[in-house]
């Protein structure tokens, strides 16, 4: 059953083998810096991925976002949202997986460890990722309907409030990271971990399909992050689209397990050790929580 993994760890901390980084890994060297991390705050790679997410969001908006048709839940516009998310994001996930794990180019990438995920693990993660995209698409449809029905106010044109939209686009990644750190840390408390988060940690050696391989309750929580600013502030839907697309693609580069293309050694250590690195260096709250882990031996 897709909702019942074969093994659900009984404790808050999984007894899983650690996956050490290669000694020649650039990530290993970066994380030996002061305070044990790469540049604290947004990195150049973070900027690249956020700009890519914004670009994808702009294309989606300009191709015709179905707010005007969404006063009622009709099959046409609802199906278009589901199809777009499955085709676009499924293609990105599979593209990263093929290039880094299947193609002849895979030898050119620096993997954090030499162990490859098992086929059954990849198949499991793929199934749960599709379930997460299903949930994400449903949440997006409800948000579109809320705008169309007047339940949630929004700016119809960017030029009606350009400064507000600009500020919201700048702050949106920080809102989403804060939401992620808070709910993620809470999910590592028993019994929430056992009920809702243990499944995600079955991917202790993650691949591109692992990022959205979540229990449905965690998927719902994860994808509420992009809608929260739109419920609190009156803003343009492009702000939601930007945050939502980034929530999708960040799960790929945060879990693909390699140095290149924004690969997150920081989050890799979270999957390997479980008890550390609940956030990201983008918003380094782990330093304040005392859970910042470097990956190199402590003195």
What would the pLDDT profile of 216-267 be if each residue is shown by its tens digit? 999 999 999 999 999 999 999 999 999 999 999 988 877 877 777 767 788 8
CA distance 113 to 110: 8
What does the pLDDT average to over 1-14? 38
Which residue is listed with tokens 């550390």?
276
d(CA 127, CA 258): 22
Which of 152 and 44 is assigned the larger pLDDT?
152
If one counts every other C-beta atom within 10 angstroms of the C-beta of residue 94, the result is 15
* pLDDT attached to residue 39: 56
Assigned token pair, 278: 């609940």
Identify the residue whose tokens are 């676009």: 88
Domains in the chain: boundaries: 26-289
| 256 or 269, higher pLDDT | 269
pLDDT confidence of 23, banded at 50, 70, 90?
very low
């Amino acid at each position: 059953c897709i909702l019942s993994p074969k093994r659900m760890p009984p404790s808050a901390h999984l007894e899983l083998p650690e996956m050490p980084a290669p000694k020649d890994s650039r990530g290993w060297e970066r994380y030996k810096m002061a305070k044990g991390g790469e540049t604290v705050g947004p990195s150049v790679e973070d900027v690249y991925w956020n700009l890519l997410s914004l670009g994808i969001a702009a294309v989606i908006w300009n191709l015709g976002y179905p707010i005007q048709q969404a006063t009622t839940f009709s099959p046409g516009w609802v199906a278009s949202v589901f199809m777009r998310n499955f085709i676009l994001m499924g293609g990105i996930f599979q593209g990263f997986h093929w290039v880094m794990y299947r193609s002849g180019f895979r030898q050119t990438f620096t993997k954090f460890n030499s162990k490859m995920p098992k086929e059954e693990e990849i198949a499991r993660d793929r199934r749960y990722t599709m379930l997460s995209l299903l949930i994400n698409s449903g949440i997006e449809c409800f948000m579109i309907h809320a705008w169309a029905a007047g339940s949630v106010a929004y700016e119809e044109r960017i030029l009606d409030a350009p400064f507000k939209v600009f500020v919201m686009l700048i702050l949106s990644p920080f809102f989403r990271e804060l939401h992620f750190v808070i709910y993620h840390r809470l999910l590592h408390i028993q019994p929430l971990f056992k009920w809702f988060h243990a499944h995600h940690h079955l991917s202790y050696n993650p691949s591109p399909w692992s990022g959205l391989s979540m229990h449905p309750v965690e998927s719902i929580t994860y994808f509420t992050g992009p809608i929260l600013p739109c419920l609190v502030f009156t803003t343009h839907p492009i702000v939601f689209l930007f945050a939502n697309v980034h929530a999708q693609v960040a799960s790929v580069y945060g879990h693909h397990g390699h140095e290149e293309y924004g690969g997150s050694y920081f989050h890799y250590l979270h999957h390997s050790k479980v008890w550390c690195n609940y956030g990201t260096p983008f918003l380094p709250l782990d330093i304040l929580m005392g859970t910042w882990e470097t990956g190199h031996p402590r003195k």
